Amino acid sequence: MARKIVTIAPPTPNGDLHLGHISGPYMAADVYARVRRLRGDDVVLLCYADDYQSYLARKARELNVERFALGRENGTKIAETLRMIDIELDWFHQAGHNDYFRRAVTQFYTAARDSGNVVSKASRIPYFPAFDMYGYEAFGRGDCNHCGASSDASQCEDCAHAPDVTKMENIRCTLGPSEVEWRTVEREYLRLDAFRGFLRSLYETKALRPHLRAYLEEVLALPDLDWAVTRPHEYGIELDEPGQPNVHTWFSGIAGYFATFCEWADRQGKPELIDAWLKDRDTGLVHFLGFDCSFSHAIAYPVLLSLVDGFQRDVQIYTNRFLKLEGEDFSTSRGHAIWVRDILKTHPADAVRTYLALNSPEEAVCNFSMAEFSAWYETAFNGKLNRLRDTLFNANQKQAFIAIAACDRAAFNTLLRDWRHAGSEGAFSMRRLARVCASVLDLAADAAVHRAADARMLLAAYAVLSSPIHPAWSSALMQRIGLEQSVAAEWLDAALAAASSEPLVLEAA
């Protein structure tokens, strides 16, 4: 049994979650955690609210409310929304004024500074006198000097690079019209240049999604990797030691995950888990994040981990691209969004989860169409899936699950092998898992025409294989047929062990 700490990139608590959020790291991390638990691993799934994000400060300014109060309110909403769509976190951490968070950030900053890898340099920053505001991130935008897309000066959503604000064009204030003054400030930088060899060695043989590997090769070829960790005159995290600077929220991400784990362990009454897990090199650290967070998670955080004595240094990273809505970007400011709570008023969480998994933007931008989803729901989920369940298993009919072992059809065994591959470390793909399960359902539907016994076996197997994707539906069917979770897990282990190791290569949809 392996140990895994699975993290979801922290949401900015300036509002609730829409489908664009859920389709990325939230759903994928939850499905991954469920798959690994089904295979017997010990998993802790964590997330925290990014209460020190300047986008939260900007929203609080717009609403004329205190930013941490707004963060707590929206953080509570976000945690509730995740529960509503069956994303089962072990712990959701509110970072604002949280001692666990401050201590963890201090620990990582101190380790980096004491190693000699934090240096001070003069830096020119745009200042907007009309609002007495600096343009580090949420309060200023311009054209990314790497790709030309509109971006703040922190991390570009299009190319994922950390822009050089002095090379960005068309710098402007997001609060309104203002002149732009360039002011020189003293900032601290993490010397990432010294870790190019370490990072190349880390990723040389690691399984990565193609767009992340290409990105890493591009970044590591840049002439200057030094990364600013402080933002004078802007929002940041106050550290424990007097005289230490405020560090910005992107620096604190890896500390946030560790703070969340520590708080979870203490709340379980098991503080000994902190050292037992965090200082065990066999504990897997698995990050799920949007592609735009690649620089912090794939470049900066492994370096920071390497500078803290005793901590696990190896990571697995799963990035995703983005989901569009009716062909356009999700935009809360323009009201172009479908909120998770709203769609759950008319459709069950399992249906939303399944559709998002089938159309996950893992390696390419995907689109969500409400009309297409509604048609799929009526024909595939509410129609085919539920109708097949009700036809094969009425309220008084049970099927011995052990009979599935007698189902030796080559097509089913091939799909079992592919399910194992899609759920494996390094090759994990929620989209592929969902499509493999859909193929198992097709087998059950075909068998139902003339071979009801085989169809029942296949649908019971489908319930087990698809349980990470639509847990409530699978749990209900397993209860109906008297199938205990432990028995299902035993069957799955035996079936996968007996299968060939060569996965089926499905055609791209």
* Whether residue 267 is found in the same domain as residue 304: yes
Confirm whether 46 is domain-assigned.
yes
- Which CATH number fits the domain that encloses residue 125? 2.170.220.10
* Whether residue 9 is found in the same domain as residue 42: yes
481 alpha carbon, distance to own chain's centre:
34
Q: In this predicted structure, what is the pLDDT of residue 392?
A: 86
% pLDDT > 90, the chain? 79
* Whether residue 278 is found in the same domain as residue 178: no
Domains: count for the chain? 3
Q: Are residues 171 and 188 in contact, defined by beta-carbon separation less than 8 angstroms?
A: no
* Whether residue 157 is found in the same domain as residue 76: no
* Whether residue 164 is found in the same domain as residue 310: no
Q: What DSSP element (H or E) covers 91?
A: strand 91-94
Confirm whether 199 is domain-assigned.
no
Identify the segments of the chain with pLDDT beneath 50. Answer: 400-408, 501-509
Convert the pLDDT of each residue in 352-381 to its tens digit.
Answer: 999 999 999 999 999 999 999 999 999 999
* Whether residue 471 is found in the same domain as residue 439: yes
Q: Are residues 496 and 380 in contact, defined by beta-carbon separation less than 8 angstroms?
A: no
Q: What DSSP element (H or E) covers 143?
A: strand 140-143
> Of the candidates 200, 318, 203, 306, which has an alpha carbon nearest to the alpha carbon of residue 254?
306
- Which CATH number fits the domain that encloses residue 265? 3.40.50.620
> Of the candidates 459, 453, 422, which has an alpha carbon nearest to the alpha carbon of residue 440?
459
Determine the residue type at 427. A
> Of the candidates 494, 357, 454, 486, which has an alpha carbon nearest to the alpha carbon of residue 26?
357
Q: What is the token pair recorded at 239?
A: 């550290």
**The tokens 């707004």 sit on which residue?**
70
Confirm whether 213 is domain-assigned.
yes
Pairwise CA distance, residues 149 & 163, whole Å = 11
Domain that holds residue 172: 117-194+204-228
Handedness of CA 127, 132, 137, 141 (dihedral sign): negative
Q: In this predicted structure, what is the pLDDT of residue 244?
A: 72
Pairwise CA distance, residues 476 & 471, whole Å = 9
Pairwise CA distance, residues 139 & 388, whole Å = 54
* Whether residue 388 is found in the same domain as residue 484: yes
Cα–Cα distance list, 390 to 334, 352, 407, 438 (Å) = 43, 21, 21, 18
* Whether residue 392 is found in the same domain as residue 469: yes
pTM: 0.94
Q: What DSSP element (H or E) covers 257?
A: helix 253-267
Pairwise CA distance, residues 271 & 48, whole Å = 19
